[in-house]
Structure 1
Amino acid sequence: MTDTHPTSYKGVIPTPTWAFRQYERIRRWLPDGLPAEQQPRPQALDNLAPLADQFQVFVFDAFGVLNAGPRAFPGAIERFRALQRMGKQVQILSNAATASQPRLVDKYRRMGFDITPDQLISSRWLLEQSLNGRVREGNWGVIAPEQSEPGTLPIHWHPVRPPVNGQLKRELDAYDGLVMLSSEGWNEEMQSALEASLSERPRPLEIANPDLVAPRGDCLTLEPGFFAHQAREASGVMPEFYGKPYAPAFRAVLERFVEVPPEQILMVGDTLHTDILGGQNAGMKTLLVTAEGSLQGMDIPDCIAQSGIAPDFIAPEI
């Protein structure tokens, strides 16, 4: 199946440097980090192996840590299995929202990660938990491709998909709220229609995936978080975000391991502004991986200095 996630916007092709600057630009809209005097001094490692005995629970980001698009990292599969053989608790904490929870579990099992549904927390699942817990009245527009199974959402929903025409604009204006699951197939014309509609009549905008970019093979794709912040700037509507770095994602992990102190949980990710920032705020220890993912090829000490977000450990891979 052809990947239709956007790889450019208004002539800009995302790179790790561009993405880092975008995260810094929206920093005020992210959770607060630790004060400078409380930031750890990162310890450089070759991989996760020296930490295997130090933590009870290992929480892995997906894209950039376990896989890039459909390609799983062989070393990540083996490390995951090795931790399981040691009796360690493992979790995947992913901002993925295009696929339903059962499909996402199946995806990672087919890649070679031996997980069960209770070992994966996705931002799609977090959104669905919120929708089940608080009723959203009226008709909602859902931005998602057909294969993402938006029918699993417990709301009265209608699809928001290209092309932009008079009917789509009228429908956008009539919805009581909007949910964005995926940026697949999204384009500048659709974004302009969304921004115009929200500017004319502000309504709730709920974003399942807060990521600005995602590594997919040899490129970065633009994700729902990027388009949500564009819409916020254009309309003044503050989106409601699910997933990292926001507290509900990490609270869901802590609730699964109530008998484990947060400092005995290691959050492993490739992005300072989502994985590391969110893990820190939850009281977890953090490991930044750098060989692939959002910071690939960048000066990591400089990124830490600029952002003021420092992981406890740094390694090229797990």
Structure 2
Amino acid sequence: MTDSHPTTFDGVTPTPAWAFDQYQRLRDQLPATAANQSAPRWIASLEPLAGEFDAFVFDAFGVLNTGQAVIPGAAARLAALQALGKPVLVLSNAATASQQALTAKYRAMGFGLTEDRIISSRWLLEDALAREPRQGVWGVIAPAHSDSQSLGPLTQQPVRPGVSDQALDACDGFIFLSSEHWDEPLHAQLSNSLKRRRRPLEVANPDLVAPRGDCLTLEPGFFAHKLREETGITPRFFGKPYGPAFDAALERLAGIPARRILMVGDTLHTDILGARTKGMASLLVTGHGSLAGLDLETCIRTSGITPDFVTSSI
């Protein structure tokens, strides 16, 4: 399948430096946490930490895989931790695929994961919809292959290229699952509809960018913040770095103190920031994700978000 996530939008082509600057620009929209005054410990890999922590939570893109490609050694690292009896979770902002499809994807990549070991931002949204049913017609921004029926008893209007202004205006709210096929005309349509009548916007995936092969793609978080700035609507986010994602991970690991859980991620403003707000330890992976090629010491100092450990690959 050809990847159809946008790599440019309105003159913007995302780079690691651009993404970092954007996260900094949006800092007042992210969770607040006290700065860590200690310098991070730089390590060659995750291996020396296997005995220091009781459980491990992994981001997916930029840590385990980039797009459809598995990062070398990632599957073996998770398997080694599992062999030691260490609980392992994947906490991902992925929202296009259903839980069943996402689990099948990672098992096909060689990761020994079951559905209960994966927490996706899509699952977080589905759980919220089950607990708080939405009334009326909701526009769902997702490609046809995303199986949006797993969202539960929700009256849906697909929001894809070709949707009419009348169909958008009839929606009582919008759910942003995926940026696949999202483009300038469709964005302008939705923005104008929300200006005509303000309605809720719920966003499973808060990421601004995602690493896919040799490029960064623009993700729902980027477009949600543009809509916020254009319309004044405050989106409701479910994935990292926001509380629901990390609360769900801690609930799955009940009985293990947060300080004994290591969050492993590639982004300071999502993985590391979210972990710090919950008292979890953190390992920043720098070689494959949205910070690849940047001066990490400058990024840490500028953001004030300090991981406990840094490595280039797990």
TM-score by length of 1: 0.97
Q: What residue is the counterpart of 1:215 in the other structure? A: 211
**Aligned 1:44-55 pairs, distance under 5 A:** 44-55=42-53
Q: What residue is the counterpart of 1:187 in the other structure? A: 183
Matched, 1:269 2:268: no
* Deviation at residue 199 of structure 1 after TM alignment: 1.2
Secondary structure in structure 1 of the residue aligned to 2:24: helix
**Aligned 1:214-253 pairs, distance under 5 A:** 214-253=210-249
* Deviation at residue 218 of structure 1 after TM alignment: 0.3
**Aligned 1:35-184 pairs, distance under 5 A:** 36=35, 38-154=36-152, 155-163=154-162, 168-184=164-180
Unaligned runs of 5+ in 1: none
* Deviation at residue 307 of structure 1 after TM alignment: 0.4
* Deviation at residue 74 of structure 1 after TM alignment: 2.3
Cα deviation digits, residues 22-73 of structure 1 (max 9, x gap): 1011110000022x3x443200000101100011110000000000000011
Q: How many residues align?
A: 313
Counterpart code for 2:286: T
Counterpart code for 2:184: E
Unaligned runs of 5+ in 2: none
Give the Cα–Cα distance (whole angstroms) in 1 for the partners of residues 37 and 175 of structure 2.
Answer: 35
Give the Cα–Cα distance (whole angstroms) in 2 for the partners of residues 204 and 11 of structure 1.
Answer: 28
Q: Please tell me whether the aligned partners of residues 39 and 309 of structure 1 are also in contact (alpha carbons under 8 angstroms).
A: no
Counterpart code for 1:193: Q
Q: What residue is the counterpart of 1:206 in the other structure? A: 202
Q: Please tell me whether the aligned partners of residues 207 and 240 of structure 1 are also in contact (alpha carbons under 8 angstroms).
A: yes
Give the Cα–Cα distance (whole angstroms) in 2 for the partners of residues 257 and 11 of structure 1.
Answer: 43
Matched, 1:27 2:31: no
Give the Cα–Cα distance (whole angstroms) in 2 for the partners of residues 218 and 163 of structure 1.
Answer: 30
Structure 1 stretch 120-129 or stretch 39-48: which is displaced more? 39-48
Q: What residue is the counterpart of 1:279 in the other structure? A: 275
Give the Cα–Cα distance (whole angstroms) in 2 for the partners of residues 58 and 300 of structure 1.
Answer: 23
Secondary structure in structure 2 of the residue aligned to 1:74: coil
Give the Cα–Cα distance (whole angstroms) in 1 for the partners of residues 121 and 38 of structure 2.
Answer: 28
Secondary structure in structure 1 of the residue aligned to 2:105: helix
Q: CA RMSD in A?
A: 0.8
* Deviation at residue 200 of structure 1 after TM alignment: 1.3
Secondary structure in structure 1 of the residue aligned to 2:245: helix
Counterpart code for 1:110: A
Give the Cα–Cα distance (whole angstroms) in 1 for the partners of residues 253 and 76 of structure 2.
Answer: 24
Give the Cα–Cα distance (whole angstroms) in 2 for the partners of residues 227 and 76 of structure 1.
Answer: 30
Q: Please tell me whether the aligned partners of residues 100 and 149 of structure 1 are also in contact (alpha carbons under 8 angstroms).
A: yes
* Deviation at residue 257 of structure 1 after TM alignment: 1.6
Match of 2:294 among 292, 295, 298: 298
Counterpart code for 1:31: P
Matched, 1:17 2:17: yes
Secondary structure in structure 2 of the residue aligned to 1:93: strand
Secondary structure in structure 2 of the residue aligned to 1:8: coil
* Deviation at residue 216 of structure 1 after TM alignment: 0.0
Secondary structure in structure 2 of the residue aligned to 1:79: helix
Q: Please tell me whether the aligned partners of residues 206 and 241 of structure 1 are also in contact (alpha carbons under 8 angstroms).
A: yes
Cα deviation digits, residues 259-298 of structure 1 (max 9, x gap): 1000000000000000000001011000000011000000
After TM superposition, what 4+ stretches of structure 1 lie above 2 angstroms from structure 2?
Answer: none
Q: Please tell me whether the aligned partners of residues 143 and 160 of structure 1 are also in contact (alpha carbons under 8 angstroms).
A: yes
Give the Cα–Cα distance (whole angstroms) in 2 for the partners of residues 194 and 316 of structure 1.
Answer: 39
